[in-house]
Amino acid sequence: MIRAYYIESKDDIIMTGPVTIRNGRPYFNGAMIPLKEVPRTRDRSTALLIDALGMRVRNMDDKAIRAKLPGSDIWYMTCIEREGDVFDGFLSNGDALLIPYHFLISDSVLTAAYELSDSCIPTLFLTKGEVLKRKGTEGLRDVLRRLSQMKYERTVVFDTDGTLTADDWKELNYQYPQMIPYLNKDLQKLDGIDFPDIISDWPDLRQI
């Protein structure tokens, strides 16, 4: 399990807390704590740090991009619109850069990202089962097919409202075995499905 933490700098301290996702943008909806106070896991694991401010204002947060979580390998997600943003994203401490599809000015950015590094992972935010785009939405399978043609094997699919059923996930796993689901409720939908990993928000954030 990869735990996700939405982060933002407050008075030069990196804070984390629970969020609500609206139109692919995270808004904090509860108490926040310093990221450094998050309990460490016994074994080394992967943590996804999400630049909440950068995604809200569509401009990478230079302070958040340098955040660390001791004892964890870091994946990082922020607003990526153009090719230059991909280069900036690799200034982070991340082992992987997750690229939210709905900020991209065009698919050509993903082509450039793939050529730059196989550590770039397209991330699809779903609303009512459709992929959120810069303008409007598009069918999930159409977007996945296009990403596959661009040679992307790994993708993250964030079902923000829990629309996909267990049967949907089984079919997606069969067609795209390297897909990584991002889900925050009804995780039992994924039981028995052999995904390489699953992303979910750190549950304790909901109890602060």
What is the rounded distance in angstroms from the CA atom of residue 111 to the CA atom of residue 106?
Answer: 10
- Whole-number pLDDT of residue 207: 46
Neighbour count for residue 135 (Cβ, 10 Å): 6
Note down pLDDT in tens along the chain; length 208 residues. Answer: 999 999 999 999 999 999 999 999 999 998 999 999 988 777 889 999 999 999 999 999 988 888 989 889 999 999 999 999 999 998 776 899 999 999 999 999 999 999 999 999 999 999 999 999 999 999 999 999 999 999 999 999 999 999 999 999 999 999 999 999 999 988 999 999 999 999 999 865 544 4
What is the rounded distance in angstroms from the CA atom of residue 58 to the CA atom of residue 54?
Answer: 5
Stretch (H or E) spanning 109: helix 108-116
- Whole-number pLDDT of residue 205: 56
Residue 77 sits in a domain whose CATH number is: 3.20.20.70
pTM given for the model? 0.94
Question: In terms of residue numbers, what domain contains 133?
Answer: 2-207
- Whole-number pLDDT of residue 176: 98
Number of domains in the chain: 1
**Angle between helix 140-149 and helix 166-175 axes, rounded to 10 deg:** 20
- Whole-number pLDDT of residue 27: 96
The CA-atom distances, in angstroms, between 197 and each of 31, 156, 178 are 28, 10, 9
What is the β-pairing status of strands 2-10 and 130-132? unpaired
